[in-house]
Amino acid sequence: MLKNNALSIKAGSLAMITSVGSMLSGCAGREKPYVERLNIIYIMTDDHAQQMISAYNSKYGHTPNIDRLAEEGVRFTNSFVTNSICGPSRACLLTGKHSHKNGKINNEVAFDGSQQTFPKLLQQGGYQTALIGKWHLESTPTGFDHWEILPGQGDYYNPVFFNDQDTVQRMGYATDIITSLSIEWLEHYDQSKPFSLFIHHKAPHRNWMPNLPDLRVYEDREFDLPENFHDTYEGREAARAAEMRIASNHDMDPLNDLKVYDGTQSSRLRGNYDVGDSLGQYGRMTPEQKAEWNRYYSGVVSDFYARERSGKELAEWKYQRYIKDYLRTCKSVDDNIGILLDYLEESGLLESTIIVYTSDQGFYVGEHGWFDKRFMYEESLRTPLLVRLPDRFSHYRGDVTQLVQNIDHAPTFLELAGVEIPSDIQGQSYLPLLKGENPSTWRKAIYYHYQEYPAEHMVKRHYGIRDQRYKLIHFYQDIDAWEFYDLEKDPAEMHNLIKDPAYQDEIARIKEDLLKLLEQYDDPIRKVFSKDEIMKVVAD
């Protein structure tokens, strides 16, 4: 319904769109022409795995509208986060700094909104800024001329939004609503200024609740299991301790996550579960929405309780339910990217705007038998990063293979806007990479540090380094374990080579590089572990 509303907004505003186009074409004589400073639209989803986007991997989902961004721009093939968890990742985006520098080291602590962020710097540089969708930083947004956000994780159906003046429940599906609100803002922004619009979707965050018209999409497909779905975690103590197994009903709750609630059990899906939510996702629906939901999920519930599954059979059944709901939820994002691109094209804004699509981190969709993120292993370390480029900015189209991180967005947008990049920002502007350049000074390795433990999913604290071929991780606190991977020979990270004599020279070399990054980024962990402790040989 909201998609149709968004299209109606567009159809009903053609006169205004024509006026905007005339204004853009007629401003060449101004002192600082509008068209010289590109608009920025930054679209971020929550937990959208790179491998579930068909521009990267056509084996699973079909995302034609997101793929269009790659076709009309660039695809980053080595895009990573600094801390694979929602709130800290968003803080790294805003500040261009690692978690230990911006203070948001986990989801529990509130982000200090008084600190320097690039939206504030864009404002000072003459940009109009807006944020719509998920915020999840436990503090009030700052640096935005307009914001309308979901509280906390937000809800998929009939969600509440709030701004600095009001709290409103909006009827419909969150992804549709966020897109409609974004288009509404674009209809009324101050056309005398360039803008930076942040569109932050809730989807496809757990518990993967699709838009109701999409409930049967992928239903007839049987997806292949990842090759390491039945991983036994040999040689990886921290992986074995994590609580994110699809096979475990403790880790992946069939009632809430797979929606096999039969109406009688205690489940957070319904809302009569002690999680501080009196409604739950199902409880938020209107009677009409519930009827549509029940028409589909009643069959899933019947199938689940009609036969007794256990062991591998149950795990593989859960995987099929999980991946289908996950991909259906991703479909809503792709559909809305299409609506947004159509609007930008019709309004004349497409060729004056850079569009960035990414996720706050990667996600496991069955790899290692997991869901969720947090680890420095590839699936959660990697993020999709696709940037659509106006022809007048760059004619380069294709892949960017350099190592980039989410701390790089801030300096990139500042450079794009012609705003000075503060010296304390730790990221690098990838603007040259968007033009097909290969700067000799570009980083050769990335640094990562995860610190939310003990907490949900029980992923141990760890820090590490990844270069183009190798990865080194140190798990610490109530564990002292090192892991080393040759990603060229073992891209699935199944074989920890930390004790392999054949790799000791390479391990010593990358440990030296790790020490340099600890110094460069001034991480306090370097004062916890001495150089001798880090350089210690652990070979058999």
| Same-domain status, 337 and 369 | yes
Q: Is 353 helix (H, G, I), strand (E, B) or coil?
A: strand
pLDDT tens track, the chain, 540 positions: 333 333 433 333 322 222 333 333 333 333 333 347 999 999 999 999 999 999 999 999 999 999 999 999 999 999 999 999 999 999 999 999 999 999 999 999 999 999 999 999 999 999 999 999 999 999 999 999 999 999 999 999 999 999 999 999 999 999 999 999 999 999 999 999 999 999 999 999 999 999 999 999 999 999 999 999 999 999 999 999 999 999 999 999 999 999 998 878 878 787 643 344 456 888 889 999 999 999 999 999 999 999 999 999 999 999 999 999 999 999 999 999 999 999 999 999 999 999 999 999 999 999 999 999 999 999 999 999 999 999 989 999 999 999 999 999 999 999 999 999 999 999 999 999 999 999 999 999 999 999 999 999 999 999 999 999 999 999 999 999 999 999 999 999 999 999 999 999 999 999 999 999 999 999 999 999 999 999 998 766
pTM of the model: 0.92
| Same-domain status, 369 and 467 | no
Q: 134: buried, middle or exposed (CB in 10 Å: 19+, 13-18, 0-12)? A: buried
Give the pLDDT score at 540: 60
Compute the distance between CA of residue 511 and CA of residue 307 in angstroms, rounded to an integer. Answer: 52
Q: Which long-range contacts (CB under 8 A, 24 or more apart) does 429-434 make?
A: 430/76, 430/400, 430/402, 430/404, 433/74, 433/76, 433/400, 433/402, 433/404, 434/73, 434/74, 434/387, 434/389, 434/393, 434/394, 434/396, 434/400
Q: Would 147 be classed as within a structural domain?
A: yes
Cβ atoms < 10 Å from Cβ of 221:
11
Q: Is 165 helix (H, G, I), strand (E, B) or coil?
A: coil
Which CATH number is 77's domain given?
A: 3.40.720.10
CA dist 121 → 34, 102, 411 (Å):
18, 16, 10
Q: Would 480 be classed as within a structural domain?
A: yes
Q: Would 277 be classed as within a structural domain?
A: no
Which CATH number is 495's domain given?
A: 3.30.1120.10
Give the pLDDT score at 268: 78
Give the pLDDT score at 271: 65
Give the pLDDT score at 2: 36
| Same-domain status, 24 and 128 | yes
| Same-domain status, 170 and 94 | yes
Give the pLDDT score at 282: 87
Last residue of a domain, which of 409, 438, 467?
438
Residue type at position 282: Y
Give the pLDDT score at 491: 98
Q: Report whether 83 contacts 89 (CB < 8 A).
A: yes
Give the pLDDT score at 539: 67
Give the pLDDT score at 89: 98
Q: 9: buried, middle or exposed (CB in 10 Å: 19+, 13-18, 0-12)? A: middle
3-state secondary structure 206-222: CCCCCCHHHCCCCCCCC
Q: Report whether 204 contacts 48 (CB < 8 A).
A: yes
CA dist 408 → 36, 88, 396, 411, 442 (Å):
22, 15, 19, 6, 12
Q: Would 288 be classed as within a structural domain?
A: no
Last residue of a domain, which of 405, 438, 471?
438
Last residue of a domain, which of 383, 412, 438?
438
Q: Would 276 be classed as within a structural domain?
A: no
Provide the number of structural domains found in the chain: 2
| Same-domain status, 139 and 173 | yes
Give the pLDDT score at 264: 80
Query: Which structural domain, as residue segments, surrounds residue 115?
Result: 2-209+321-438
Q: Report whether 332 contacts 214 (CB < 8 A).
A: yes
| Same-domain status, 49 and 177 | yes
| Same-domain status, 387 and 451 | no
Give the pLDDT score at 265: 80
